[in-house]
Structure 1
Amino acid sequence: MRKLIMWNIITLDGYFEGNQSWDLPFHNVVWGEELEKLSIEQLHAADYLVFGRVTYEGMAAYWINEKGEIADLMNSIPKIVFSKTLKSAEWNNTTLINENASAEIKKLKEEGEKDLYVFGSANLSETFVNDNLFDEYRIGVAPVILGSGRPLFKTGIASQNLSLVSTQPLKTGGVVLKYSK
Structure 2
Amino acid sequence: MLSFLFRRRPQEVEPDYGAVDDTFPLWAAREAVSQIEKRYAAQNAALMAYEARATTLLGWLSAIVLAVLSASVSHMFAKPPLSPSTAKTLVLLLSVLFPAFFSGIFLLSVFRPKKWTSTVADIDWLTTDIPQNPSEFEILKEFAAIGRVRTLENDAELRITFGALTAGRRWFLAIPASASFVSLVITLMTVSAGAR
TM range (shorter): under 0.3
What TM-score do the two structures reach when normalised by structure 1?
Answer: 0.22
Q: Name which one, 1 or 2, has greater alpha-carbon Rg.
A: 2
